[in-house]
């Protein structure tokens, strides 16, 4: 079992209902302007129930939905059958089943980064940087608040993440903070977006 997924298999159906209860546009309203408006290749890492992958597929994008928890991936495939979504069992930090380089226009990591320890975060950021087109966006959220019992999570600072991204050839294009949209107390989220630094 992947350490960051502890507790998710047993709660897959409950978590899926929670995820599906939040609309895609509400979950990502701060960064929707950064998402591609023409048909693109999108990587959804930690796709969960497939809510985001399904919304992006309906918009005409081709989505690779990566979800390491078998039970959640099965729920996502059941809830959101689409010819525009390919499901894959894989996980950060390595995403080892993907080729060494890819050309995704958007990489989305919603409620994923907090499951990686410091070494894994460094490795993962380097790996993500190999998967982008020159104009791609990488959008990720950072969770700040109490850790639910039985889960493996880390409180990651925005500054660490920005520094990590810069070290791996990415530049910050968005930084925002907001309260938890599900109303959970003492919980808020940072949203960061990056794009590759242009080569001279």
Tens of pLDDT along the chain (200 residues) come to 445 444 455 566 676 677 777 889 999 999 999 999 999 999 999 999 899 999 999 999 999 999 998 988 999 999 999 999 999 999 999 999 999 999 999 999 999 999 999 999 999 999 999 999 999 999 999 999 988 888 889 999 999 999 999 999 999 999 999 998 878 888 999 999 999 998 77
Alpha helices in 80-189, H assignment, sequence order:
118-129, 158-167
Closest CA to 113 of 133, 139, 87: 139
pLDDT for res 4: 45
Which residue bears the tokens 């993962």?
Answer: 124
Q: pTM for the whole thing?
A: 0.91
The tokens for 144 are 């700040």
Residue 67: the pLDDT is 95
pLDDT of residue 7: 47
Cβ(81)–Cβ(63) under 8 Å? no
pLDDT score recorded for residue 199: 74
Strands laid side by side in the 85-88 sheet: 85-88, 62-66, 41-45, 104-109, 132-144, 188-196, 170-179
User: What kind of fold does domain 3-196 have according to CATH?
Assistant: Rossmann fold (3.40.50)
């Amino acid at each position: 079992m992947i350490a960051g997924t502890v507790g998710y298999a047993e709660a897959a159906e409950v978590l899926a209902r929670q995820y599906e209860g939040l609309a895609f546009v509400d979950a990502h309203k701060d960064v929707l302007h950064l998402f591609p408006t023409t048909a693109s290749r999108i990587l959804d890492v930690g796709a969960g129930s497939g809510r985001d992958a399904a919304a992006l597929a309906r918009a005409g994008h081709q989505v690779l939905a990566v979800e390491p928890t078998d039970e959640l991936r099965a729920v996502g495939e059941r809830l959101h059958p689409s010819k525009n979504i390919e499901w894959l069992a894989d996980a950060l930090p390595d995403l080892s089943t993907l080729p060494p380089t890819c050309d995704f226009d958007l990489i989305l990591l919603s409620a994923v980064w907090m499951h990686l320890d410091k070494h894994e975060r460094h490795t993962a950021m380097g790996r993500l940087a190999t998967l982008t087109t020159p104009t791609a966006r990488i959008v990720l959220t950072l969770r700040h608040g109490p850790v639910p019992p039985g889960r493996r999570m880390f409180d990651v600072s925005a500054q660490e993440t920005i520094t990590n991204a810069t070290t791996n050839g990415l530049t910050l294009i968005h930084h925002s903070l907001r309260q938890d949209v599900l109303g959970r107390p003492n919980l808020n989220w940072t949203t960061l977006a990056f794009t590759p630094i242009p080569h001279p």
